[in-house]
Structure 1
């Protein structure tokens, strides 16, 4: 018996954040929850909104046949329609359910997208610093993650991104608000990034996607907002979840939204749906597709954060 060498190597470089989280659990047992401050995982310490709990009770008590059964791989039609409404409001464009694939959290969603778009040796550029697991998600599907340093204030540095571009670039992955820096990329930065990729496509014949990983979108303060991506770049994808805003990280419920203006949007959606199935996710959890379809816009007070 043996373990694959690439997994052994990856384990050696495993996330220090995850190790810190596990150490924190032990320390809390020893010293008490109030005496240990955990700055590792983005594991919310707010309870889910009462609307979510009430919906859980309702669907748990349901005797409707098929409530917990299989559904089409991209998810229930009503769940996809609800997420299309959500993303449409955020992005300022009209989406339909067919533009959305339900996912097993944002992590599952990113893996499905990477599986769908990456050929062996392809590259994904990511502004640095970034969520450490991105490296593994990319490697899972034969790709290479290419870091591009940000400016001192963690805003996008278009020069480092342009230098990182190559004929192998399949996508640029952005995370705003950013984990770990908290930086919200400006509308102007997003527009400049879109322009740079459009120019790159003219030179190489390959138009990279912009993939926005947005689980922290709702957690902003003051008059801050997260700039919409879809109106400024057609080859774009949003991946998100309800782990942070509804305090549901363990329920693994999220979605993938493909810009309806994306070239070959229908083919891309079909590829992501296929990837969801063959990666073994099969479909997003049935129970929580029902719950978030009714509660995705439940109010949450983030002031304690």
Structure 2
């Protein structure tokens, strides 16, 4: 196991499944599940953070569920709830599982079975759908002192084949191949190039590059996920450091000459890259701008920023509101 990584904790006792809160042990999904056979599911990762007052807050949950509904539309997966309703469901699940500290939610919408009269085959029409949401306690799982990355020999799947803007379950085999290659070589994570040979993203995170006080990140046409943490960081850099992030094509060589590199994602949060392909990034330690972003992000997600005017936090109230 790579440095700083630990086994994921067990999910909570309760899950939201097929329209109701049920015991996790009672959920049964068969081996003929269409999503299992063909990767026809979409998902999100959403974090909840404990504030100093002890009150937990979901971070940008409405934005995550909005993106998930869009991903589901691509695969003709019917989600019967609005983003606002899904936020309420997520908060209720956290309450039922007693996850008052830092936690993680995994909503998954997926194809289940062929409807009566639909012939066998790989298809999106004529297949029933389901929605399941689980929650589990989760703090930071990558070392804040920095990680090492390697440029993957696997290329990012292009938008013309499978859109990266949608979090499609089957697409993550691409990510798994890159991560496996990187960890086998002794790195903590992989950085993808796209089909044109330009920087795309890390295995499950967006990439930011700092050089001579300027910050760049690959543009959407680099076959990247439109990261919600990426968007948060762009806003925080504007406010905290008066820096406008450039969204453009990023060359591989720019990574090797960078002063700082950091990754952003719901799971990894903000993590410095201190070594790339066996070369130190900058001085080989987290740089000043990276540390500024990490601090600003932590204050924001925990409700410690009195100047934060963003509508990013949803309180997880102590009193249940049953749906």
Instruction: Using CA pairs under 8 Å that are at least 6 residues apart, name the structure with larger relative contact order, 1 or 2.
Output: 1
TM over 0.5: no
- State the TM-score, normalized to the length of structure 2: 0.23
